[in-house]
């Protein structure tokens, strides 16, 4: 019961923040709302007993990605965001499509029966994640390092000021 109330509060705040991200005309405000969304999702991860992911969510998304976005906003000088129209011309079509998608998915999800398992989370979950990285998931693990390397090289190439 307490869990349900808590979930509704956290989910409602997170969704409002997400709406704020989409609606805010000022890009910096949108980024701040985005930080709120990330924090809310970290709380949801903790409620789902994925403590490692809760902490990692804050470190990666708020500590790294949100900062990156804010830096990029400052670099592109559109902070005021008072440019004519935040949305493009087909925004009402997009709105209709998205609402339709949500209603369809919601309708499907409510009817879908899931065979829930009422088991406890293993006590050494973090250790098992680590073993997964170097065991069963070793190929994606190494590919992730290549991905990060390529992203680093590519982004440096793109963002560098060449003539200085």
Partner 1 sequence: MTVPLTWYLIFATALFSIGFFAVLARRNAIAVLMGVELMLNAVNVNLVAFWRYLTPEDLSGQIFVVFVFAVAAAEAAVGLALMISIYRTRKTINVDEINELRL
Partner 2 sequence: MDLRAIGESFIAWLQGLGIPDGWVLFINWLVGSVLILGLALTLALALIWLERKLAGRIQDRLGPNRVGPYGLIQPIADALKLLTKEDITPAEADRITYNLAPIIAVFHVLMLFAVIPFADQVVGANINVGVLYLMAFGALGTMAMLMAGWASRNKYALLGGFRVVAQLLSYEIPIALVMMIPVLLVGSLNLNDIASGQGGLFGLGWFVWIMPAAFLLYFIAALAEGERAPFDLLEAESEIVAGYNIEYSAMKFAWFYLAFFLNTWILSAIATTLFLGGWQGPFVDKIPALGVVYFFAKTFFMFFLFAWVRATFPRLRIDQMMAFCWKVLVPMGLALLLGAAIIVKMGAEMSWPGYMTNVLLLVMNIVVLLVMLSLLGRYTRTLSETKNKRLFAPELPRL
Partner 3 sequence: MLTQQYGLIGVFAVIAFIFPIVTLAFTWLIRPKRPNPLKNSTYECGIETVGDAWVQFRAQYYLFALIFVVFDLEAIFLFPFAVAFNKVGWFALFEAIIFVLMLFVGLIYAWKKNALEWQ
User: 1-60: which residues touch partner 3 (CB under 8 A)?
Assistant: 46, 49, 51-52, 56, 59-60
Q: Cβ of 33: how many Cβ atoms within 10 Å?
A: 19
One of 17, 35, 37, 43 touching partner 2 (CB under 8 A): 35
Which residue, among 51, 49, 15, 20, has the nearest Cα to 33 in the 3D structure?
Answer: 20
**Residue 72 lies near partner 3 (rule: CB under 8 A):** yes
One of 11, 56, 86, 129 touching partner 2 (CB under 8 A): 56
Site string for partner 2, 89-108 (x = CB under 8 A): --------------------
Q: Minimum distance from CB of 158 to partner 1 (Å)? A: 4
Return the biggest CA–CA distance within the chain. 62
One of 9, 19, 25, 52 touching partner 2 (CB under 8 A): 52
* Intra-chain end-to-end CA distance of the chain, in Å: 61
**Residue 67 lies near partner 2 (rule: CB under 8 A):** yes
Helix (H, G, I), strand (E, B) or coil at 164: coil
Helix (H, G, I), strand (E, B) or coil at 88: coil
């Amino acid at each position: 019961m307490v869990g349900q109330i808590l979930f509704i509060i956290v989910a409602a705040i997170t969704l409002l923040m997400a709406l704020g991200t989409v609606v805010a005309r000022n890009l910096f405000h949108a980024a701040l709302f985005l930080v709120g969304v990330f924090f809310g999702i970290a709380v949801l991860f903790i409620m789902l007993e994925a403590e490692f992911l809760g902490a990692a969510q804050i470190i990666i998304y708020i500590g790294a990605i949100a900062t990156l976005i804010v830096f990029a906003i400052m670099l592109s000088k559109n902070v005021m965001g008072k440019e004519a129209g935040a949305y493009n011309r087909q925004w009402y079509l997009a709105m209709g499509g998205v609402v339709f998608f949500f209603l369809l998915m919601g309708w499907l999800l409510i009817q879908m029966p899931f065979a829930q398992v009422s088991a406890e989370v293993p006590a050494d979950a973090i250790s098992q994640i680590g073993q997964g990285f170097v065991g069963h998931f070793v190929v994606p693990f190494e590919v992730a390092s290549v991905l990060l390397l390529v992203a680093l090289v590519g982004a440096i190439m793109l963002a560098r000021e060449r003539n200085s």
